[in-house]
Structure 1
C-alpha cells in the first residue's frame, strides 16, 4: 500500500518527476518568450522610424532600393559576393 503511494508521489501526474519536467518546460518557454519580446522591440523601433514626422527619407530610400532591387540610371552598381556581407 505504501509502495503504491510512494511510486505515484514520484512518477505520478503531479509527482516530483513531473515538477522537474514542468520547470524545464517553463524555462524553455521563458527563453522563447524573451526572444519574441526582443524581436517585437526591434520591429516597434523600425516602425517608429517610419511614422510621420520621424520618417528618415534616407532609410526609406535604402530599404525600397534593397527590397525592389532598383537604382537610378546615373548610379554605378557594384556587386559584392554574398560572403562579404
Structure 2
C-alpha cells in the first residue's frame, strides 16, 4: 500500500518536475546562451563601437582627402608660397624691405 502510494506520488511529481526543468533550461539559454539576451546586448555594444570607429575613419579620410587636394598645383597660391618660404628660410631679395623682429616677437 505504501509502495503504491509512493509510485503514484513519483508519477504525479515526475511530469511537472520534468516540465519545470525543461522550462528552466530554455529560460537560462534565452538569457545566458550563445544567442541569448546578454549576447545580443554585447553584440549591440560592439556594433556601436564599430560604428564610432567607422565615423572616426571617415573623418580622418576626409582630412587626408582635403590635404591631398590642397597639393594640386592650381590650389597653391604662388605669392603666399613665396612669402612663407622666404620667412622660413630667412631669405630676401635685393629690393625687399626687411623689418627685424625682436626675440620676444617671432614672425612665425
Q: Same fold (TM over 0.5)?
A: yes
State the match for 1:83 in structure 2.
none
Number of residue pairs the alignment of both structures matches: 75
Larger Rg: 2
1:60 to partner: Cα distance: 8.9
1:59 to partner: Cα distance: 5.7
User: What TM-score comes out, normalization by structure 2 length?
Assistant: 0.54
User: What TM-score comes out, normalization by structure 1 length?
Assistant: 0.67
Distance 1:60 1:18 in 2: 61
- Structure 1 segments unaligned to the other structure (5+ residues): 81-85
State the match for 2:69 in structure 1.
48
Offset from partner CA, 1:2-35 (integer Å, 9 cap, x none): 2111111111111111111111111111111111
State the match for 1:72 in structure 2.
90
Alignment RMSD: 2.9
